[in-house]
Amino acid sequence: MRTTIDEAAGLVIVQSPEGERRYPMASAEGFAAASKAWLRAGWDVKHVYSFTWMGRPIIQLPEDMFRLQEVIYAERPDVVIETGVAHGGSLIFYASLFEAMGHGRAIGVDVELRPHNRQALEAHPLTGRITLIEGSSVDAAVLRQVETLIAPGEKVMVMLDSGHGRDHVLAELRAYARFIQIGGRMIAADGIMQDLAGAPRAAQDWTWNNPRQAAQIFVAEDDRFIIDEPGWLFNEGAAQSRVTYWPSCYVTRVR
């Protein structure tokens, strides 16, 4: 596929095996096509490795986090469980939302909590809303530890952002589904990998070895869950699709 952005003509031109399509830049289709090219460029240059949240690096696309805060504020989970802590910026993000709302806490699970990251998180002003667990996110002992931190009836949201291989994410979805009530969600990050196979920072097997495939397999085998898109709470513009590294990622329990 080849995307050409012609600012002078106000067009986004997409050439694919099916032919050429021309979209006005000021259209939902033009915005979506230009965004797809921008996301690929941002992945190649590691754009998301340039942000912090309240002092901690947060390796996430800002639009994904803005959309996620809409969901958190609207649905008000008691707990967000995140697998894959890295520098801890996402945990601080959730903790800051909970602090502003006056309710909620975050649990971070990582196979290796590096000492300098742990120290920074434990010294952060929002550390009281965060619990850290070191170990594999799918290890039975880790899951038991997580379970002890969740009271009966609490609303849980799960953010899966550790290993991104299909089989690992599928194992996480199966493992953490036990914590999700009806209406609750698990979110599998970085399904964009499926669209990036062959890019400079990608592997060829990403066409199938990615979180999006894991989510699709999971909902096919567990009919309590579906993949859905959270509704936009506000939109006075023409755009109709998310700019996201997390396509087809919101796995929601419906029964």
Task: Give Cβ neighbours of residue 51 (< 8 Å, ≥ 6 apart).
Answer: 57, 58, 59, 60, 62, 89
pLDDT one-digit tens code per residue, 58-83: 999 999 999 999 999 999 999 999 99
Can you give 125-140 as a three-state secondary structure string? CCHHHEEEEECCCCCH
Identify the pLDDT of residue 1: 85
Better-predicted residue by pLDDT, 18 or 88: 88
The answer to whether 56 and 96 are in contact (CB under 8 A) is: no
DSSP β-ladder status, 250-253 and 156-160: unpaired
Does residue 175 sit in helix, strand or coil?
A: helix
Identify the pLDDT of residue 11: 97
> What does pTM read for this prediction?
0.96
DSSP β-ladder status, 11-16 and 19-24: antiparallel
Q: Is 204 exposed, middle or buried (0-12, 13-18, 19+ CB in 10 A)?
A: exposed
Structural tokens at position 144:
């038991």
Identify the pLDDT of residue 8: 97
Nearest to 77 by CA among 47, 61, 98, 58: 98
Whole-angstrom distance, CA of residue 175 vs CA of residue 146:
11
As a whole-number percent, the residues of the chain with pLDDT over 70 amount to 100
Identify the pLDDT of residue 35: 97
The answer to whether 249 and 71 are in contact (CB under 8 A) is: no
pLDDT one-digit tens code per residue, 78-121: 999 999 999 999 999 999 999 999 999 999 999 999 999 999 99
pLDDT one-digit tens code per residue, 109-147: 999 999 999 999 999 999 999 999 999 999 999 999 999
Domain residue spans of the chain: 2-44, 50-253
Identify the pLDDT of residue 118: 98
Does residue 112 sit in helix, strand or coil?
A: coil
Identify the pLDDT of residue 186: 98
Nearest to 95 by CA among 107, 109, 110, 85: 107
pLDDT one-digit tens code per residue, 154-209: 999 999 999 999 999 999 999 999 999 999 999 999 999 999 998 999 999 999 99
Helix axes 211-221, 166-176, angle to 10 degrees: 40
Identify the pLDDT of residue 198: 87
**Whether pLDDT at 231 is above 90:** no
End-to-end CA distance of the chain: 40
How far out from the chain centre does Cα 170 lie? Answer: 15
**What is the CATH code of the structural domain delimited by 50-253?**
3.40.50.150
